[in-house]
Amino acid sequence: MTLGRRPPRVPTRGGQVEAPRRGRLSALDGLRFLAAIAVVGYHYTAHGHPHFGPQPSIVFPTLSEFTAYGALGPKLFFVISGFVILMTAWGRDIPGYIASRISRLFPAYWAAVLSTTFLLFVLWPEKKGITSLDALVNLTMVQKAFSVPHVDGVYWTLWVELRFYLLIAIFAAIGITRQRVLAFAALWPVLAKLAMRSDATLVHTLVITEYASLFAGGMLLYLIYREGHSFLPWLLVGMNAILAVQSQLASQVTSLTEDTGVAVSKALVAALLVGCFAAVAVVTMTPVARLDWKWLTTLGALTYPLYLVHEYWGWWIISRLHEAVGPYLALLAAVAFSTALACAILYGVERRFAEPLRGAVLRSLLPEPRTGGEAAGGSAVPTAPAPVAAQIPGPTTGVPQVVPTSPAGDVMGARHRAGASTGRSAGRTSDPAPLSGVPVP
């Protein structure tokens, strides 16, 4: 993509403009996986846990000086989520957006909660700091709102992501346009900063005060990816990068130093925070974006379950093996086991149940229209009329197209399917993780 030039865009019947078709951003999948590996490295070799005996920074004195900065992985997840969740929501109806988020987040999350609960209640009860009721509340993913402890500490990012998804749902209901994205990404971080100075806890929670600039920067990067380079979006990306450093730097340096015992570089933390924005730009708007390596897509799919299960399961493996095989082999075993468990969740749970869950949610949000007899309060008589077809506007040209409907003439379903097609034509990849970024993505 050449600076200053925009890709050709196609006007639609509603006057909106859609981005050209693009393939999946495999390099972005790879970047998500790198962020997850950075978090894994931090939790195993730098975070101040006791499962090696001495603190990890003593066991791995050189390695921990690098892996300590893996604590910034969630910040990269949030920038990626800003990019991908806006991509997911733009051009999609609210039921489709909600169904995609629920089906993407919950199957792997439920499996992770149940597996870690089993670990803490059965295999490692001395580590357990939760009750059975706490574990059940964790299945809702909103345990933070009820002051219930997380089954696994990494779940804190999911509460952040959920609040961002809610903001984007509201944004999508109002209508996402270029001008509104620019205004939102410019004003949101400033208003969030002002909210930090007030005692309005609810406002503070809803506007995601600490991380607004990271999400907003990711949204702007998607706008540039979608519509081409121009001055104002890049100016706002720079503004949000500066605000991210201002809001995160001091607290991040303090927490990392206290948690790891490593002499953390303030300048390097600032550079890495800015690098979160730069990395997303590189993998989406340079020749790197043309990489089409399928294994990167696989790694991207593995990111979410690996993030969810690695911490406690890895620590348990380390605590059981480090005295017998030494710290390095115990570390390798923890990484291997966590990866294998993540693969089991990906292929045994996500790939099996995500699509049925999405369909069930959609059917709940878009119920089949009732027949005339049912609407009038009478009993409906089952019939089997011949299939019919409905004419609806084409997804990009506005020219009516014939869409087959169900035997009952389900025009609503036809419109929904056309809307989903329209959404896919807007340069969208398949649904991401949140950490999904995270995580979530």
Q: Region 355-375: what's the mean pLDDT?
A: 80
**H or E segment and range at residue 404:** strand 400-404
Give the Cα separation of 17 and 340 in Å (integer): 43
pLDDT at 371: 58
Q: How buried is residue 205: exposed, middle or buried, by Cβ count under 10 Å (0-12/13-18/19+)?
A: middle
Planar angle of CA 217, 223, 77, nearest 5 degrees: 40
Write the CA distances from 235 to 32, 105, 139, 239, 324, integer angstroms.
Answer: 25, 33, 41, 6, 55
Percent residues over pLDDT 70 in the chain = 78
At residue 153 the predicted structure's pLDDT band, cuts being 50, 70 and 90, is very high
410 φ/ψ angles, rounded to the nearest 5 degrees:
-80, 80
Mean per-residue pLDDT, 129-151 = 97
254 vs 370 pLDDT, higher one: 254
Could you give the CA distance from residue 415 to residue 50 in angstroms, rounded to a whole number?
Answer: 56
The predicted pLDDT at position 13 comes to 39
Report long-range pairs for 363-367 (Cβ below 8 Å, ≥24 apart). 365/94, 365/95, 365/98, 365/99, 366/95, 366/412, 366/413, 366/416
Q: How far apart are CA 313 and CA 174, in angstroms?
A: 42
State pLDDT tens for residues 422-433. 433 333 344 444
Which pLDDT value is given to residue 22? 60
Give me the mean pLDDT over the 154-180 stretch: 97
Indicate the SS3 state at residue 402: strand
DSSP 438: B
The closest of 99, 121, 120, 102 to 110, measured between CA atoms, is 102
At which residue do the structure tokens 């019947």 appear? 13
User: Which residue has tokens 């950075």?
Assistant: 38
Give me the helices (H) in 72-155, please: 73-89, 94-118, 132-138
Q: Is the pLDDT of residue 402 over 70?
A: no
> Exposed, middle or buried: residue 285 (CB in 10 Å: 0-12, 13-18, 19+)?
middle
Q: Residue 102 pLDDT > 90, yes or no? A: yes
Closest CA to 8 of 228, 162, 175, 306: 228
Q: Answer for the pair 35, 80: CB distance below 8 angstroms, yes or no.
A: yes
Burial of 26 (0-12, 13-18, 19+ CB in 10 A): buried
> Any idea which residue has 């995580």 for tokens?
439
Q: What average pLDDT does this structure show over 109-119?
A: 98
pLDDT at 24: 83
Digit-coded pLDDT (tens) for 248-300: 999 999 999 999 999 999 999 999 999 999 999 999 999 999 999 999 999 99
- Mean pLDDT confidence for 377-397: 44
Confidence band of 144 (pLDDT split at 50, 70, 90)? very high
Q: How far apart are the first and last CA of the chain?
A: 26
436 DSSP assignment: -
Q: Is cis: bond before 441, omega within 30 of 0?
A: yes
For the cut 90, the answer to whether the pLDDT of residue 398 exceeds it is no
What is this structure's pTM? 0.81
Strand partners, 392: 401
